[in-house]
Chain A
Amino acid sequence: MRRALSWAGAAFVVACLSGSFVLDADSALDYGTNAVDLVAYVPGLAATTLVGLMLSLRQPHQAVGWLLLLNGDLLALGAVSDSYAGWSLVRGDTDGAAEVTILWFTHGWPVIFAGIVAVAFVFPDGRLLPGRLWRWAAGFGVVAFVSTIIGGMLGHDTLDAPFSSVPPAAVLSPVVAGTLQTVGLLGMLATLITGVAALTIRFRRSSGVERLQLKWVALAGGLIPLAIVLGTVDGLTRDSGSGLLTAASSGLALAALPVAIGIAVLRYRLYDVDRVISGTVLYVVLTALLGAAFTVIVLAGGVTLGGGSPVPTAAATAAVLLAFRPLRSRLQGRVDRYLDRPRFVARRGVDEFLTELRAGRVEPESVGAAMVAAVGDPTLQLYFWFPDQQVHSDADGRAAELPSSGLRIPVVRGHEELATVVHTAGHPELARVLNDVIVRCGLAIEVARLRVEVRRRLAEVEDSRARLVAAAEQERHRLERDLHDGSQQRLVSIGLDLRILQRELPAGPLRDGLDQAVDGLAEAIRELRDLARGLRPDTLGDGLAPALAQLASRTAIRTEVDATGERFAVDIEAAAYFVASEALANAVKHSGAHRVAVAAEGRDGTLRLVVTDDGRGGAAAGRGLTGLADRVAAVGGRLHVASADGRGTTVEAVFPCG
């Protein structure tokens, strides 16, 4: 049923137009404006009818489509009325139906706007804005249009040429008709303003899709003043006004509105609106500027060189060609600034970040945060991709799983995938802006990824070194236990057996020899114990201070210990002990020192161990010191050796604890 109605509406337009052509041809009446009328009218009529037909078929519950179709019908009715009125006049038969038609043609003009104004009230969702006030306003609008038409058709006003011969209907008293017309005209104006206000209010409140829909209409609406400007220029240059240029531009402008409405309602390429708007404005302005420049150069050249010279034209062409690219890029920036706000803001944000980056004021790794700020989407996250390890990481180099939800956009430079941007798509315009931002941030992302990769590898190396040291420590521990519980224990029991045998032997060389052998064995056991202790000092069980004291007591040089009683992590204490032990051994072997001082203090979350001797100094960084530095670095500390010639040697190790 609805489909039939749609097709009937469209068929009515075709019928009216056909009728109009036939009648015009038959009456052979030419007001001199037929061609112009055709160009001005037909595109708008065709557009509104086709879009109305399409919308009413696809979305029969949407009022917008039906209103556009009605608009087409009313316009077509106007056309056929025009032709019928002319035809009747030519035939000299202006009674009955012809009279009504002529009255309608003269006073029914408000219907031309009625459909579009109605659309303004219900666009884009096909419903009035909520609230009783809007229903009243719409009702008032209908009354205003109807009363204007009725007041005109049934009043006493004499008709304009060429219908001045037809008498007015004069059904109503002049006062009533005049009042109806005046009130109706004012009401129509108010309704028009209200319709624009409705669209403005909707635009203000809108977001997302609805905003884009309204932008499309604003784009088309913006062409109407442009058409008026062109019409004015046309009128000034041709003296005749209402020329072909005027007709063409107004025809296009009138056609653009229903097309824009159709795009908005059907949501076909809805998201391109900002690009289309800025592109339109860009090329209109660009054309105007270059055209003006071309004209000025040609005119000025013509004046100085004489009319026939080809030089001014060539110069103007060259100038326009040269100016095109730079002017375009400058204008693009300006246009974006005002019309494609999201992209402008994003580009500005990215450009600021890149400037800061080049100046060294920000780290490349903050590119993700800069993208979030530029795009204005807090859900955006940047994950760097490391193909050889098949792992993603965040900006700190921590391995990270991509979130399972959200949109993933790969960042590719050359043929290599660098990263993935994940965001929960909220804003429909975001995708376009985001792609732009990703391209602009490409180099920064690549640099950041390289830095993160280096950091990741360094952390891996550090981890593996710490693991190696821990493994070595564990191995030492095991070896020490094996020595104590295995070999040493067995040697003691063998020694004891020999001692018992020895006591059972009579005094003599055999017993003496055995005695000496067991003494040797006892010595070997002591050496074994010292060896095990060197591997892992068992004194460390009680803390660094007693261990250092014992170490000092076994050192051949006079050694003073000033150690904190504080306890630290086992690996830190072991490393500190190791440093002290090595430094003392070096002092004994190489320095020729008389005194050595060992100090260990905990301060500000660090353990600081300093071994100072009064020897000859000049300790070179050899294998021993490097090994020491490695051992310290493995637990996150650092080693510093000062050993100027003749000034003694100071070995300082600082360990983080906590």
Chain B
Amino acid sequence: MRVALAEDQALLRAGLERLFDGAGYDVVAAVADGDALCAAVAASPPELVVVDIRMPPTFTDEGLQAARWIRAHHPEVAVLMLSQHVVTTGALDLVTQRGFGYLLKDRVLDVDEFLAAASRVAAGGSALDPEVVARLVNARDPHASRLHALTARERDVLSCMAEGLTNAGIAARLVLTVRTVESHTRSVFMKLGLHGDDDGHRRVLAVLSFLGDPAP
């Protein structure tokens, strides 16, 4: 699988390069800013792009702009955005799309889970950091939102679904049985008025698009 990396810090860029290389990826580009990434993608679109959100020259949201450009011009390329801390402003519409992930940088230290998230995104799935999900949930006005109807447990399950976890994954994270998780997910879907399978990316997308919508 072909992957392009954009990270301004040389040490981390080299580390990521070795990580993806070791995991069997073909690292076709490792660049230090958004423009170079866009040029590399335009020249030869890879399957996956891993991009730091803050890069030269302004260190604000160059990575986000590059991701947006790639989404617009090469929608088939999956994007995994990395950030030192969570910035949701302007990223809401992207995180609810297919083939998009948004993780905090230190998740790379959990190598296996990071690589799993990368391959999930590359396959058109979703991978959202729990912090991002928490932000999405909090960003909705709790009064106008049907989120208010959820129990605390159901909210936890909703967050896990938004991260892209399967029922089994949720059960493992929350230390519940899979059956209990299934009943929670059904309840969440009913209360939020969503339709979706019990499994797969479609339900993640349903949850995300619910969260990504401006509050009614």
> Do A490 and B11 touch (CB < 8 A)?
yes
Which residue of chain B has its CB nearest to the CB of A551?
Answer: B138
Residues on the B chain within 8 Å of A485, using CB: 54, 59, 84
> Do B141 and A497 touch (CB < 8 A)?
no
Contact mask for chain B residues 139-159; partner A; CB cutoff 8 A; 1 contact, 0 none: 101110000000000000000
Q: Which of B16, B104, B138, B142 has the most CB of A within 10 A?
A: B138
Contact mask for chain A residues 482-497; partner B; CB cutoff 8 A; 1 contact, 0 none: 0011001110111111
Cβ of B195 within 8 Å of any chain A Cβ, yes or no, is no
Residues on the B chain within 8 Å of A243, using CB: none
Which residue of chain B has its CB nearest to the CB of A564?
Answer: B141
The B-contacting residues of A in range 385-422, CB under 8 angstroms, are none
> Do B18 and A500 touch (CB < 8 A)?
yes
The A-contacting residues of B in range 12-48, CB under 8 angstroms, are 12, 14-16, 18-19, 22
Interface window among A209-217, A270-278, A442-450, A538-546: A538-546
Residues on the B chain within 8 Å of A562, using CB: 143
A561 to B19, CA, bound (A): 43
> Do A525 and B138 touch (CB < 8 A)?
no
Cβ of A522 within 8 Å of any chain B Cβ, yes or no, is yes
> Do B142 and A549 touch (CB < 8 A)?
yes
A588 to B106, CA, bound (A): 29
Cβ of B87 within 8 Å of any chain A Cβ, yes or no, is yes
Residues on the A chain within 8 Å of B14, using CB: 493
Query: Within the complex, which residue of B89, B134, B141 is in contact with A541, where a contact is CB–CB below 8 Å?
Result: B89
> Do B135 and A539 touch (CB < 8 A)?
yes
Cβ of A550 within 8 Å of any chain B Cβ, yes or no, is yes
Interface window among B108-116, B169-177, B184-192: B108-116
Query: Within the complex, which residue of B11, B85, B111, B138 is in contact with A493, where a contact is CB–CB below 8 Å?
Result: B11
Residues on the A chain within 8 Å of B19, using CB: 496, 499-500
Cβ of A532 within 8 Å of any chain B Cβ, yes or no, is yes
The B-contacting residues of A in range 471-514, CB under 8 angstroms, are 481, 484-485, 488-490, 492-497, 499-500, 503
> Do A539 and B138 touch (CB < 8 A)?
yes
Residues on the A chain within 8 Å of B141, using CB: 545, 565
Residues on the A chain within 8 Å of B109, using CB: 492, 495-496, 499, 518-519, 521-522, 525
With both chains docked as a complex, state the minimum distance between the C-beta of A504 and any C-beta of chain B, in angstroms: 8
A128 to B216, CA, bound (A): 90
With both chains docked as a complex, state the minimum distance between the C-beta of A526 and any C-beta of chain B, in angstroms: 7
B interface, over-half SS: helix
With both chains docked as a complex, state the minimum distance between the C-beta of B78 and any C-beta of chain A, in angstroms: 21
Given A539-B138, A553-B134, are A522 and B18 also a contact pair (CB < 8 Å)? no
Residues on the A chain within 8 Å of B12, using CB: 489, 492-493, 496
Cβ of A533 within 8 Å of any chain B Cβ, yes or no, is yes
Residues on the A chain within 8 Å of B106, using CB: 488, 492, 495, 522, 525-526, 529
> Do B85 and A550 touch (CB < 8 A)?
no
Cβ of B88 within 8 Å of any chain A Cβ, yes or no, is yes
Cβ of B86 within 8 Å of any chain A Cβ, yes or no, is yes
A361 to B202, CA, bound (A): 75
With both chains docked as a complex, state the minimum distance between the C-beta of B173 and any C-beta of chain A, in angstroms: 17
A376 to B87, CA, bound (A): 65
Query: Within the complex, which residue of B54, B59, B85, B135 is in contact with A529, where a contact is CB–CB below 8 Å?
Result: B85
Which residue of chain A has its CB nearest to the CB of B92?
Answer: A542
Given A518-B109, A541-B89, are A553 and B138 also a contact pair (CB < 8 Å)? yes
> Do B108 and A488 touch (CB < 8 A)?
no
Contact mask for chain A residues 31-61; partner B; CB cutoff 8 A; 1 contact, 0 none: 0000000000000000000000000000000
> Do A549 and B138 touch (CB < 8 A)?
yes
A529 to B106, CA, bound (A): 10
Query: Within the complex, which residue of B84, B105, B139 is in contact with A542, where a contact is CB–CB below 8 Å?
Result: B139
Given A539-B135, A565-B141, are A497 and B15 also a contact pair (CB < 8 Å)? yes
With both chains docked as a complex, state the minimum distance between the C-beta of B93 and any C-beta of chain A, in angstroms: 14
> Do A489 and B84 touch (CB < 8 A)?
yes
Residues on the A chain within 8 Å of B22, using CB: 500, 503
> Do A484 and B108 touch (CB < 8 A)?
no
A467 to B12, CA, bound (A): 38
Q: Which of B9, B14, B108, B139 has the most CB of A within 10 A?
A: B139
Contact mask for chain B residues 54-93; partner A; CB cutoff 8 A; 1 contact, 0 none: 1000010000000000000000000000001111110000
A539 to B87, CA, bound (A): 8
A503 to B59, CA, bound (A): 32
A521 to B59, CA, bound (A): 25
> Do B105 and A538 touch (CB < 8 A)?
no
> Do A532 and B85 touch (CB < 8 A)?
yes
A553 to B152, CA, bound (A): 11
Residues on the B chain within 8 Å of A492, using CB: 12, 84, 105-106, 108-109
Question: 16 A-B Cβ contacts within 8 A?
Answer: A484-B54, A484-B85, A489-B12, A490-B9, A493-B11, A493-B12, A497-B15, A499-B108, A500-B19, A521-B109, A529-B104, A529-B106, A533-B85, A550-B135, A561-B142, A565-B141
Interface residues of B (CB under 8 A from A): 9, 11-12, 14-16, 18-19, 22, 54, 59, 84-89, 104-106, 108-111, 134-135, 138-139, 141-143
Interface residues of A (CB under 8 A from B): 481, 484-485, 488-490, 492-497, 499-500, 503, 518-519, 521-522, 525-526, 529, 532-533, 538-539, 541-542, 545-546, 549-550, 553, 561-562, 565
9 cross-chain pairs, A with B, having the tightest CB-CB distances, nearest first = A496-B15, A493-B12, A549-B138, A493-B11, A484-B84, A525-B106, A522-B109, A546-B139, A495-B109
